[in-house]
Structure 1
Amino acid sequence: MTDALLEVAGLCAGYDATTVLYDVDLSVRPGEFSVVIGPNGHGKTTLLRSVSGLVPARAGTVSLAGESITRMTPERITGRGLVHIPQGDLLFPDMTVLENLMLGAFLCREGRAARNRRLDGVYDVFPRLAERSAQRARTLSGGERRMLALGRGLMADAKVLMIDEPSLGLAPVLVDEVYAQISRIHATGLTILLVEENFSRVRDIADRLTLIENGSVRAAGTVDEVLRDPAVAATYLGLES
């Protein structure tokens, strides 16, 4: 009996005639900050997309809280509490910040009071979103759009928040700010599965690393366990022994 909240076993997936993921195993425990790292184009984004139902699994299983979600639609998976924040944010540019946030709660079966409490929690983590609640999303800066994407994910009452490369396209100072906010989100007890190419960004905050190479798991474990392999440390993480 596994104690994982999210369990991926033998996952194979891809696009049309191309297979991208081969027999991927991944386990995320409740409250864990789990990070998937690896070179560009080796399957990290496809992994998140397959887990969230956007790319159908060709083989293997995905389970959330002991329930198989392998063949569920993305809407049902989100409704179960597995929330995917993709690359590029994918906001509704002509809707306001508040409207984008409230759409995050669209699948939640709860009353207005509960949604408003969650909105207050989002504004507590991202005060700038409260200041810009009436602004259209397209008028926000890159960092603010990233905050809005994260806030919309929090509005969905997530059990697991999957975040795909939050540093992508941001200036270093904004990356620091976004990661500080992600750390605040994790500190509330939320389970996070995050994809990141830059190991230095996650070295001090990851509970567990999974290294993907050519669509397969090259290494997995705690940061210290993964770093014990000098070839992995030097080749993939840019560290010298």
Structure 2
Amino acid sequence: MTEPHSAGDPTPTVLLDVVDLHAGYGLTEVLRGINLRVAEGEFSVVIGPNGHGKSTLLRAISGLVAPRSGSIRFAGSRIDTMRTETIVGQGLIHIPQGDMLFPDMTVSENLALGAFVKSAQKNRAAKLERVYDIFPRLAERATQRARTLSGGERRMLAIGRGLMGDARMLMIDEPSLGLAPVLVEEVYRQIARIAAEGMTVLLVEEDFSRVRDVADHVTLVENGSVVLSGSVDYVLSHPAIAATYLGIDT
């Protein structure tokens, strides 16, 4: 089920448009006809149980998993046949689970690598200044090797590296994974700030309580299919679904 668009509301500009996407690994199909739209400037969240296709969805969008059928458009262009580095060059940046940092490089070196595509090398100093403004702790640890950072600092570094890539949209996979609650709150405050400053965000999360107050749009995924998609209020207006998938008694 998808929330109907009100005739009185202006039609949003769609930045990411995923249509009937099927994808998987080997003989296993993980995504079974996923439809997902993310409007420009929107904070969109994909919620669902572990192992039901949320991470595979991001990997397919970013070109790490080849779609079996369906289409993916970003800023109006088909990207489902593009190489990952070409997709990054379009401004679609994927921040995966586990951060994927270069542990023996310093914080500043990891950030510099975020601007590896030609388009991102312009104004690199200004981008770095912005990252340090959002994550002051990274500025304090600029010369430290990534492997010496705490879990929360590594998560900040991964997000900061994504911002260095001249991003039009960030896809962030479970930023709360493995972090202590106080660090989760800090990381989410910073993500909310990035979104409030105009960045389009597609975020995967398992715990709805962490995104309830910041999400513009929520998509519930189970067994590789969309169960429900719409605003937070629309999702919560379905008591049975909210109780089953979000653990909320409405």
TM-score by length of 1: 0.97
RMSD: 1.2
State the distance in 2 between where 1:212 and 1:19 align. Answer: 15
Q: How many residues align?
A: 240
Match of 2:24 in 1: 14
In the alignment, structure 1 residue 186 sits paired with structure 2 residue 202: no
The residue identity in structure 1 corresponding to 2:227 is R
State the distance in 2 between where 1:234 and 1:212 align. Answer: 15
Are the aligned partners of 2:119 and 2:166 in contact in 1 as well (CA < 8 Å)?
Answer: no
State the distance in 1 between where 2:241 and 2:249 align. Answer: 10
State the distance in 1 between where 2:36 and 2:224 align. Answer: 13
In the alignment, structure 1 residue 238 sits paired with structure 2 residue 247: yes
Structure 1: state its 5+ residue gaps.
none
Structure 1 moving runs of 4+ over 4 Å:
none
State the distance in 1 between where 2:93 and 2:120 align. Answer: 17
Q: 2:119 aligns with which of 87, 95, 109?
A: 109
1:111 and 1:147, CA in 2 relative to 1: closer, same or farther beyond 3 A? closer
Q: 2:175 aligns with which of 133, 149, 166?
A: 166
Are the aligned partners of 1:108 and 1:157 in contact in 2 as well (CA < 8 Å)?
Answer: no
Match of 1:66 in 2: 76
State the distance in 1 between where 2:119 and 2:188 align. Answer: 30
CA positional deviation for 1:111:
5.2
1:110 and 1:72, CA in 2 relative to 1: closer, same or farther beyond 3 A? closer
State the distance in 2 between where 1:115 and 1:199 align. Answer: 35
1:150 and 1:14, CA in 2 relative to 1: closer, same or farther beyond 3 A? same
Once the two structures are overlaid, the 10-residue window that deviates more, 221-230 or 16-25, is: 221-230
Structure 2: state its 5+ residue gaps.
1-10
State the distance in 2 between where 1:63 and 1:29 align. Answer: 12
What SS does structure 1 have at the residue aligned with 2:68?
strand
Name the % identity: 65
State the distance in 2 between where 1:57 and 1:110 align. Answer: 27
